[in-house]
Structure 1
Amino acid sequence: MKLRKHLLHGLLLFTTIAFVQCKDSGDDVEPDDENELITSVTLNFKEAGSSAVTSFSYKDADGDGGNPASRFDTVSLKANTQYTMTVEFLDESKTPVENITKEVQEESDEHLLIFTASPATLLTYTYGDKDANNFPIGLTGTAKSGAAGLGKLKVQLRHQPGAKNGTPTPGSDDVNLDFNLKVK
């Protein structure tokens, strides 16, 4: 009888702990896929009416954390000029190098690129591509430089599996970089 009573108390305790451990996720959406390892980001600017492409890169062989980036170019653009802009992502920690741009295209309903100039008058970006749900992607678009000045260009690749809605939230950053921006 005592053994049965102890087993019943143990079962009740286990059940209580199990229910206490469960929590309602509410409105918080957490991506369930891992973020991509991206060691190289290249921004390509093609001036309207020209065939020449000017590229600016960020390279960090071991990804975020660890050793500092081996390359972090300043984005230098002509004032009051329109460009077609494309973005490339690579994982160079693998052999052969993995083209993450292709993965972002294939999983476009899970990714959103955001470009934020500071001050905002230095550069405006208009999306040129959309996913199957008609939300922007950002791998290609139009960048228009403003008047001459110095600032920053934040480049974010948001990872939003199952939650993409065309805005930066919810999700997590695959990339979050602040390029120096020089408009001359």
Structure 2
Amino acid sequence: MKGLNNLSPTIKPVKDDYRVAGRAFTVKMPVGDNLVVLKAIREAKQGDVLVIDAKGDTYRAIAGDFIVGMAQTLGINGIIVDGVVRDLEGIKSLNYPVFCKGTTIAASGKAGMGEINVPISCGGTTIHPGDIVVGDIDGVVVIPKQLEEKVLDQSLEKLEKDNERAEKVSGNREEIRKYLDEFISNK
């Protein structure tokens, strides 16, 4: 994706070793009202990843450990939110991938507004239902559904080239110098 389509680097996993991948099940949530998150958990399919646009709110949580545990039990692959969660110790004990901006103590209300499976903006990136989302300690990237085959092919090519370069250059002073000379002269 050439460094494009990644979410804000402020959205990180609650545990460094968490990884997530799957199809985006999008949630547009009004600030401080998480009833739509419960609807999304009910509607999402096994293997989906809930991607929640909470407008970047860091005051009221989109969910705590109880709601996150329900998503886990129903087979949802993870939760990514442009917002915060609560009950961090409980969420960590679930060993379930949650990516967010941080934590708070304040719970959300349940007035009932919001939408599911509509285009959203999360972490400054547009996400459509069914896009692929992949996240780890470095952040989250979104692969638009219409580009997934092309991105897969290009990713495999890049991985192969990176592995060949590392095999040739790593630990070899002469090859490192050659590589650096060639790289710098091409710029």
TM-score (norm 1): 0.24
Q: Which has the higher helix share?
A: 2
Q: Which has the higher contact order (CA 8 A, sep 6+)?
A: 2
| Structure whose CA Rg is larger | 1
Q: Which has the higher strand share?
A: 1
TM-score (norm 2): 0.23
